[in-house]
Structure 1
C-alpha cells in the first residue's frame, strides 16, 4: 500500500508537470518549496508532494483531474488563512490559486469580476480608486475565496450584509473537471451552496461581486478599560447603533501598543474597531454613545479611506492560536465578568474574546436564502489565545474551551473561524434543513468527496 501510494503521488507530480509546465509545479527539491507550503497559521507544518500554480481556469481543471485520477489528497488555497490549515496537506497536492489575480471593475454597473487568487487588500485597494468596495472582513491578507465561501462577516456587514449577499455569480471547476458558470438562473442550487457552504463543491476561479459607495467613511480604534459594566454597555450600544456602523470588539489583555499608556499594558481592555459608512457628521452622532461608555484610553477614530480599515498584510506574521467560536444573542454582566476574570488566568501572549456585531442588513436576508443560515443571531463571538510555545498548546486549548463553554448559548458556529475542532462541530454550522440541502448538492457535484480537505460536508447523510 505504501508502494502504491508513492507511485500514485509520483505519477501525479509527473502529470502535473506535463499539464502545467515544470515552473508551475513546486516540489520539495525546489528552493521555492518552503515558502510555497506555508499557510497563515504558524501551528501547521505540513509537507505536500507538490504545490501546483495554475494560471487560469483551464489549468485548475487539469489539476483537479490529475488529483482525482491519481487518488491523491487535494488542498485548495486562496489566501491560506484557514484556521484549520486547510490550505496545505501532508503527502498530497496543493492547488494554489495565487496566480489568478485579474480584476475587472465596472464602475457604471458597480460590479466586479475577481479571480480567486486576490486578497481582500488587493481587491479593496483597486476598487477604492473609484470610491467603491465589497466587504471581505477586516484583514487585508485574507483571500477573497475563503472569505466569500464561508459567508463573509466584516466591516460593511450591518450596512450591506455578508460578502455572499453581494455575490452575483461565480465560475467554478467541479470534481469531474467541468467548468461551470453559476448564478441565480444557472445551476442555482450550486450557487446557493457556495454562499456559506465552503469549498466543498469545487474550485471557484472567479467571483462576480456587487460594489458599494464608500467615498465617505469614518473609522478607527477606540479603547476603554474593560470592566463587566463597560463591556456589556458597549456591546449593547454597538448593537443599537444605526446600520451604517459596524463594530468588532476585542476584550483582551492590553498589548504594548504605542497608542496606549504603558501603565495599562497587561490589564483588561476593550479594543473596538468602528467602521461607519456615511457622512462624517452622521458618524460622529452614531459613535458618540460608544465613546461615552467610559473615558477612552485611546481614540483613533476619524474620517479615512475605507481601505485603511483593513489590518495590513504582514508577510512573515504566522501566529499560533487556539480558538472557539459561537453565536450569541445577548451578553449580561455575569458573562462579561467571567470574560474579564478569565483574562488573568491565561498565559497566552494575547488572550481575547472577540465580538462581531451582526444585525442590520445581515438579519434582513431570509435564513434560507443562503447556506449561511444564522442571520437572526445578534453577534458572532470568537474566543482566542495567541501564543508561541507549542509545548503549552494543551493549556491554551483548555483555556479557550472553558471560556467558550461558559458563554455558549445553544448551537451554531461560523465555519470561517473554525479550526481543527470543527470536525465535530461542522453540522452545528448549518441547521438541519440547510445541512440536508448541502448534502444533496454535494452528492450531485462531488459524489466521490474529492473536495474533503475542508470543513467537510459529506455526499451522504451521516447517521
Structure 2
C-alpha cells in the first residue's frame, strides 16, 4: 500500500518486534506513558513508538521513517526542553531498551548504550572511584546530553562531556552503522560533539573516565540582595577549577530546609561541587559561607552520585524558559536579576547562573561543534507555572528578562534551548564557521534532513 505521495503507508499491524523492537501503537497499554516527555506543555501523539533493542533494529526504524516519509523523533531520556523526543503523527524511536554499560577500569573508559541514564552511569562508575561529567540531573539520557555538549558538575575541572567522548557508533540516514572517532569519519565525529541529533542515531558512546573519590559538595541556601549575588558570582569566578558553582536565584519553593518566612521570596539556592580533597574543598566553600550566613548548608564530603539528589521520573513541569551566555554579573546586572525574579507571578521564577571557564575554555573553539568555549557565564531564565492559559504571560516575562540581562555574548547552549528557529540555530547555537561546517556535514550524511526533530541544521545546498 502506498500513500498519495508515492511512499509506503504505515501499517502498525505489519510491524514486528523482531525487526523493530517493541511496537507501541495508540491502542497499546503503555502508549500514554511512552509518549510523555519531561516538558509538561508537550502533548504530541505519534503514530507509533518503536523501542529497538540493538543497532540493527535502530537501522530498521530509520529505514521505516525514510520509506514512509513520516517525521522521526529520537528519544533517549526524554528530557529535551523542546520535546524533541516525541512528534505528532510520526515515528518515535525510543532508545530506552538499549542500556548496556561496559566499564574498563584499567583503561578508564566506558561504552554506554544510548538508553543509559546519567544517573545509572554515574552510580556504576563511582563503584570504581571513577566519573564522567554529564549535567546535574540523573534522569537525562547519556546520549542526548553528550551530543548537545554536556555542561555539568565536572566541566571546569575536566571539560564538557563532548571533551570526554572518544568514539561513537551511529546509524545514519541511509541505515548504515558507522563507527566514528578522530581517525574514522573525523568530520562526523567533530559534528557529533555539540551538533545534537542532526546527523544520525547514536547507539553507543565511548567515554573517558576520570579518577574521582568523592567530592565536597551539595546545596547552600542564602538570602539574596544584589550585593550578595554579585559577591557570590565573583567568588565562583575566583575559585579554583575544581569548583563548579550553579547559582539559582529563585522564588523559594516550600522546601523543608528553607525557613518558612522565605517561601515565595527570592533566595539563592546554590549547588556547589568541589572535585577534589574535602579539606581543600571546605576551605574554598568557606569563602561563600563568609559572604552571608546561610539559611541552610548541606555542603559536605559526599560520594559523587550524591550530587544528583533524588529525581522523580513522573515530574512534568510546565515552564517558559530562555537561555543565554552573559559576560559578567556586576551590581547593575545583579539588581536586574533580583528585581525581575521578585516581579514574576509564576509558581517558581528564577535565573540560574553557571560560571564557566576552566577546562571548557582551554579547548579551541573550532575543535568541536560547540562554538562557545570562551563564554563566561551561562544564564538560564525560567518561570514554572500551572495553567497553560497563562503561557503568554510567562513567555513575555522570560523574553523581557532575557533582553534586560543580555550583554555582548549572543550565544546560547543547545541542550537548554526550548524554542530555536532557523535564525537562532544559525546565530545563537552554531554561529559563523561552525554552522557552515555543520551544514556541509549535514548535506553529506543526511541530505534529505530525515533527522529534523532537533535544533535543526539545514543541509548546505550545492
User: Counterpart of 1:374 in 2: which secondary structure?
Assistant: coil
2:130 corresponding residue in structure 1:
132
How far the C-alpha of 1:461 sits from its partner, in A, is 5.8
Paired position in structure 1 for 2:457: 457
State the distance in 1 between where 2:250 and 2:298 align. Answer: 18
| RMSD between aligned residues | 1.7
2-structure distance, mates of 1:424, 1:48: 27
Q: Is the 8 A contact 1:141 1:312 kept in 2?
A: no
| Distance in 2 of aligned mates of 1:233 and 1:286 | 14
Match of 2:32 in 1: 34
- Cα distance in 2, alignment partners of residues 6 and 349 from structure 1: 50
Asked if the contact 1:138/1:311 (under 8 Å) is kept, the reply is no
Partner of residue 210, structure 2? 212
Does structure 2 retain, via aligned residues, the 8 Å contact 1:41–1:320?
yes
Q: Pick from 385, 399, 402: which aligns with 1:401?
A: 399
The structure 1 residue matched to 2:291, chosen from 275, 289, 293, is 293
CA distance in 2, matches of 1:369, 1:423: 23
Equivalent residue number for residue 368 of structure 1 = 366
Q: How does 1:183-222 map to 2 (within 5 A)?
A: 183-222=181-220
Shift of the 18–315 alpha-carbon distance from structure 1 to 2, 3 Å rule, reads: closer
Distance in 2 separating the partners of 1:303 and 1:282: 11
| TM-score normalised by structure 2 residue count | 0.97
Structure 1 position 295, deviation (Å)? 1.3
Contact 2:7/2:68 (8 A) holds in 1: no
Contact 2:443–2:461 (Cα < 8 Å) also in 1: no
- The 8 Å contact of residues 76 and 95 in structure 2, kept in 1 or not, is answered as yes
Q: Is the 8 A contact 2:321 2:383 kept in 1?
A: yes
The farther-off stretch of 309-318 and 197-206 is 309-318
SS in 2 for 1:434: helix
Residue 370 to residue 260, structure 1, CA distance change in 2 (3 Å): same
Matches within 5 A, 1:427-438: 427=426, 428-438=428-438
Q: What is the CA deviation profile of residues 214-268 of structure 1, one whole-angstrom value per residue up to 9, with x for unaligned ones?
A: 1031100111111001111100110110000001110011111111111111121
Per the alignment, in what secondary structure is the counterpart of residue 340 of structure 1? Answer: helix
Which residue of 381, 388, 391 maps to 1:390? 388
Q: Deviation at 1:14? A: 4.8
- The separation in 2 between residues aligned to 1:331 and 1:93, in whole angstroms, is 44
2:416 corresponds in structure 1 to 417
Separation in 1, partners of 2:5, 2:380: 39
**Contact 2:17–2:23 at 8 Å: present in 1 too?**
no
1:110 maps to what in 2? 108
The 2-side partners of 1:457 and 1:7 are apart by 25
The answer to which of 209-218 and 82-91 deviates more is 209-218
Alignment match, 2:443: 443
Following TM superposition, where does structure 1 have runs of at least 4 consecutive aligned residues deviating by more than 6 angstroms? none
Alpha-carbon distance, 1:15 to partner:
5.3
What SS does the corresponding residue of 1:10 show, helix, strand or coil? Answer: coil
TM-score by length of 1: 0.96
Match of 2:22 in 1: 24
Q: How does 1:59-458 map to 2 (within 5 A)?
A: 59-410=57-408, 411-427=410-426, 428-458=428-458
Distance 1:285 1:430 in 2: 39
The answer to whether the 8 Å contact 1:221/1:300 transfers is: yes
Q: 1:189 to 1:230 in 2, by over 3 A?
A: same
Paired residue secondary structure (1:4): coil
Residues 9 and 339 of structure 1, relative CA distance in 2, 3 Å threshold: farther
In the TM superposition, what is the alpha-carbon distance from 1:8 to its structure 2 partner? 4.5
CA distance in 2, matches of 1:449, 1:3: 20
Gaps spanning 5+ residues in structure 2: where?
none
Contact 1:166 1:210 in 2 (8 A): yes
**Inter-CA distance 210–376: structure 2 relative to 1 (3 Å threshold):** same
Deviation at 1:373, TM superposition (A): 1.3
SS of the counterpart of 1:303?
Answer: strand
Pairwise CA distance, 1:31: 0.7
SS in 2 for 1:205: strand
Contact persistence 1:359–1:378 (CA under 8 A): yes
